[in-house]
Amino acid sequence: MAPAGPAGRAFNTEITFYSAYDNDPPGSRAIAYPNARHSQAGGTGTFADPLTLASDPREIAVGTVVYVPLVKKYFVMEDDCAECISDWGGSKVPHLDLFMPNGNDDSVTACQEQLTPAGRVTVELNPPAGRAVSSGPLYSGGRCFSG
């Protein structure tokens, strides 16, 4: 693994999770900005293949890469999040909604709730390559990421 370069910008934000199960339209991996990086929600969480994140494009520019230490994964802004847009548009509350692959039924909801922290957490905008990355999925086969 290459050494990490200079740090990106620290950003304090609320974090939630979504999956195909609770996407819009439901059951799909459709994203608002296909070709920002992916044609549909996905990724593995590495620097080279970040997972999709949704937010308000006025809060975080489409295509921005974010490192989330909470789950040790990289994400890229390429989708809209209605709640995030409401939060940012109303009282400028920062909110990122992180895509959780492999969640195609209601069993993923408990995992989303388990991983959602109370309050804001610090993430890194425009991070360098080389941050620690968990190789395991956030959710798979009924199992939730455990760090």
Q: Residues 5-21: pLDDT tens digits?
A: 567 899 999 999 999 98
Q: Residues 17-63: pLDDT tens digits?
A: 999 988 888 889 999 999 899 999 999 999 999 999 999 999 999 99
Q: What is the pTM of this model?
A: 0.92
Does the structure show a pLDDT above 90 at 3?
no
Query: Contact, 77 vs 111, CB < 8 A?
Result: no
Q: State the Cα–Cα distance between residues 133 and 118, nearest whole angstrom.
A: 23
Domain 9-31+43-127, classified CATH 1.10.287, yes or no:
no
